[in-house]
A and B are shown apart, each in its own frame.
Chain A
């Protein structure tokens, strides 16, 4: 199967005062195949959203893409000029943001907002036709079509998020980027929306990059998971493997941060310590201070990328199948 998205050695820097910069995303490579859904997990500040924004080149200074290649459907995003970029966004790849409530223009009806979208991308200039297409899209995500003449404030949070998803799917993109699409919503609504997105995915056959910090949700919905820590993808593997036999201690810790819903309740440790300060990156492995498995090597040499059965990991001491953890008291 062809790759829909290819990211190679991507680095994104934020310029801070006095000419210094912080590398928020450091040398990240991954691919998404046609019809695949990849989850990008990690704590806040690890660079998940920075990656998502750089895929559509949404960054403005002080953020700059300093290195790397991004190819979506074979076309090089970083080489495009602004007109090409405008046509590419939403046609080939679209994005749903966390605060969908704020993505919609509050003083314009949904009908007009859809019409503008169709007009800008040259689909149709006929209002009647645009309305019909928009109504079909709303029906697709489970909103009654006749509510198209409503303003955003007349919808609940979940419905607004659905409307934004309908808009993201309007031009039949090949890649849908979901940046924490349901974090602000209730669990029941969250599941409802995600189930709907995955039904549509089967129907329309697009690929998904799903960003969230809720790894338990991700394990249910994604084929593969990439775990990020401090600007690097530390492990990428299939969801089953991350759930049952993660290699990287951070992936293991993340997975073990969620108490079981219906299984046995046992004492869980979480991950000790605090997120890494990116202005002060230590020598060696970035996870050294919080790792239960760290040795002398981890403080000296940065682990290289090792390929595993269905992905890769970056760790000197991969955990393998038998994980025995000695927790400090």
Chain B
């Protein structure tokens, strides 16, 4: 890493959802995130991977202030994101933007692409009318929508999925965001288009110093695009560190399983998935009362103490941490 300037920080964030479902029913709480902490540096991409329901999107929504964390805090420029007011809040809303999974519904179908770029340019910057037009064209060109005059006057339905996602990225550039939360930005795009969008995000990262939180379930693209990776399981960070260390040499049983399951045409021999102790499809719910390791019920190497002792984070590589009580 060239510069280690922290732009976004998550400190011991825990998120509880009340799922009691009825006034007279016993209170029931699901802990979607448990004690999650990390820092995002300037100009880097941090991948967050895990299966559906592991809390990836909750993390994104917390950062977007959709909800307030039950415990812990999220800091932007050393200010708590959830306590911002006035000018600070406006500033945060400008600097942090989210890319959604579905480009088909994240753009307003009634307006053309120019409108999507014009609005943030008017709201967040004081440009003259002509400057706005020039800026919009510049951003469109930057994301590869050329010729900009023609593409800008199109409506979203006239663009393909990849082009829509590019238009959305142009909008993010127009807003002037620094921290970009990308929630599965390529999972709905065609494989042939996917890489183009990833390369564009890579360019934004390298040349413009944008920081990305890249949420995905595709480990191969996470490795392609990101510098560091966090593996989430049932709301817990089970393994995290530099992306190459984690992907090439996974230490936590869950990460091993994830990587073994990812398709890889270069793999020569048929691999055997580690045998899971319980049913694969059982959704592991974590509640504040739960004890032990979150992965214990599915872990192939779990033993008795796994159900009582909560695994503390430990360093296992140069910059690779896991939460597992076993010595690996």
Asked whether any CB of chain A lies closer than 8 Å to the CB of B208, the reply is: no
Asked whether any CB of chain B lies closer than 8 Å to the CB of A82, the reply is: no
Q: Which residue of A lies closest to B202 (CB)?
A: A267
The answer to whether A187 and B217 touch across the interface, beta carbons within 8 angstroms, is: yes
Annotate B221-239 by CB proximity to A: 1 below 8 A, 0 otherwise. Answer: 1011000000000000000
Closest beta carbon of chain B to A125's beta carbon, Å:
32
Stretch at the interface among B59-67, B264-272, B319-327: B264-272
Within 8 A of B (CB), among A26-61: 43-44
B162: chain A residues within 8 A (beta carbon) = 274
The answer to whether A188 and B194 touch across the interface, beta carbons within 8 angstroms, is: no
Report the separation of the CA atoms of residues A307 and B280 in the bound assembly, to the nearest whole angstrom. Answer: 44
Interface SS, A side = loop
B96: chain A residues within 8 A (beta carbon) = none
Within 8 A of A (CB), among B47-70: 51-52
Asked whether any CB of chain A lies closer than 8 Å to the CB of B316, the reply is: no
Closest beta carbon of chain A to B203's beta carbon, Å:
11
The answer to whether A262 and B264 touch across the interface, beta carbons within 8 angstroms, is: yes
User: Which of A44, A156, A243, A261 is B223 in contact with, Cβ under 8 Å?
Assistant: A261
**Known contacts A158-B280, A186-B51, A261-B220; A270 and B193 CB within 8 A of each other:** yes
User: Which of A192, A217, A265, A271 is B263 in contact with, Cβ under 8 Å?
Assistant: A217
A220: chain B residues within 8 A (beta carbon) = 263-265, 267
The answer to whether A254 and B261 touch across the interface, beta carbons within 8 angstroms, is: no
The answer to whether B190 and A213 touch across the interface, beta carbons within 8 angstroms, is: yes
The answer to whether A261 and B262 touch across the interface, beta carbons within 8 angstroms, is: yes
Q: Which residue of B lies closest to A43 (CB)?
A: B190
Closest beta carbon of chain A to B251's beta carbon, Å:
15
The answer to whether B265 and A259 touch across the interface, beta carbons within 8 angstroms, is: no
**Known contacts A269-B195, A270-B193; A258 and B220 CB within 8 A of each other:** yes
**Known contacts A259-B223, A261-B223; A187 and B192 CB within 8 A of each other:** no
Report the separation of the CA atoms of residues A43 and B281 in the bound assembly, to the nearest whole angstrom. Answer: 29
Report the separation of the CA atoms of residues A274 and B223 in the bound assembly, to the nearest whole angstrom. Answer: 25
B163: chain A residues within 8 A (beta carbon) = 274
Within 8 A of B (CB), among A119-173: 155-159
Annotate B121-153 by CB proximity to A: 1 below 8 A, 0 otherwise. Answer: 000000000000000000000000000000000
Q: Which residue of A lies closest to B272 (CB)?
A: A195
Within 8 A of A (CB), among B2-44: none
**Known contacts A157-B281, A274-B160; A191 and B273 CB within 8 A of each other:** yes
The answer to whether B191 and A215 touch across the interface, beta carbons within 8 angstroms, is: yes
Annotate A277-296 by CB proximity to B: 1 below 8 A, 0 otherwise. Answer: 00000000000000000000
**Known contacts A259-B220, A259-B221, A261-B219; A271 and B261 CB within 8 A of each other:** no
User: Which of A158, A255, A263 is B281 in contact with, Cβ under 8 Å?
Assistant: A158
Interface centre among B162, B219, B258, B265 (most CB of A within 10 A): B265
B51: chain A residues within 8 A (beta carbon) = 186-188
B328: chain A residues within 8 A (beta carbon) = none
Asked whether any CB of chain A lies closer than 8 Å to the CB of B75, the reply is: no
B263: chain A residues within 8 A (beta carbon) = 187, 191, 214, 216-217, 219-220
The answer to whether A187 and B262 touch across the interface, beta carbons within 8 angstroms, is: yes
User: Which of B160, B192, B248, B281 is A253 in contact with, Cβ under 8 Å?
Assistant: B192
Q: Which residue of A lies closest to B218 (CB)?
A: A187
Asked whether any CB of chain B lies closer than 8 Å to the CB of A260, the reply is: yes
The answer to whether A272 and B191 touch across the interface, beta carbons within 8 angstroms, is: no
Asked whether any CB of chain A lies closer than 8 Å to the CB of B110, the reply is: no
Report the separation of the CA atoms of residues A213 and B265 in the bound assembly, to the nearest whole angstrom. Answer: 14
Asked whether any CB of chain A lies closer than 8 Å to the CB of B177, the reply is: no
Report the separation of the CA atoms of residues A219 and B195 in the bound assembly, to the nearest whole angstrom. Answer: 19
Asked whether any CB of chain B lies closer than 8 Å to the CB of A79, the reply is: no
Within 8 A of A (CB), among B236-290: 244, 247-248, 257-267, 273, 280-283
Asked whether any CB of chain B lies closer than 8 Å to the CB of A323, the reply is: no
Asked whether any CB of chain A lies closer than 8 Å to the CB of B311, the reply is: no
Report the separation of the CA atoms of residues A220 and B269 in the bound assembly, to the nearest whole angstrom. Answer: 9
Report the separation of the CA atoms of residues A159 and B282 in the bound assembly, to the nearest whole angstrom. Answer: 10
Within 8 A of B (CB), among A218-242: 219-220
A243: chain B residues within 8 A (beta carbon) = 265
Asked whether any CB of chain B lies closer than 8 Å to the CB of A275, the reply is: yes
Closest beta carbon of chain B to A243's beta carbon, Å:
5
The answer to whether A188 and B257 touch across the interface, beta carbons within 8 angstroms, is: yes
Closest beta carbon of chain B to A42's beta carbon, Å:
9
**Known contacts A188-B258, A274-B160; A254 and B192 CB within 8 A of each other:** yes
Report the separation of the CA atoms of residues A272 and B190 in the bound assembly, to the nearest whole angstrom. Answer: 12
Q: Which residue of B lies closest to A259 (CB)?
A: B224
Asked whether any CB of chain B lies closer than 8 Å to the CB of A257, the reply is: yes
**Known contacts A213-B191, A257-B194; A186 and B248 CB within 8 A of each other:** no
Q: List 16 A-B contacts (CB under 8 A).
A: A155-B281, A156-B281, A157-B281, A189-B280, A215-B265, A219-B263, A219-B265, A254-B191, A257-B195, A262-B247, A262-B266, A265-B223, A270-B193, A271-B195, A274-B163, A275-B160
Interface residue ranges, B against A (CB under 8 Å): 51-52, 160, 162-163, 190-196, 199, 217-221, 223-224, 244, 247-248, 257-267, 273, 280-283
Counting from the closest, the 8 A-B pairs by CB-CB distance are A270-B195, A259-B224, A156-B281, A219-B265, A217-B263, A43-B190, A271-B192, A191-B261
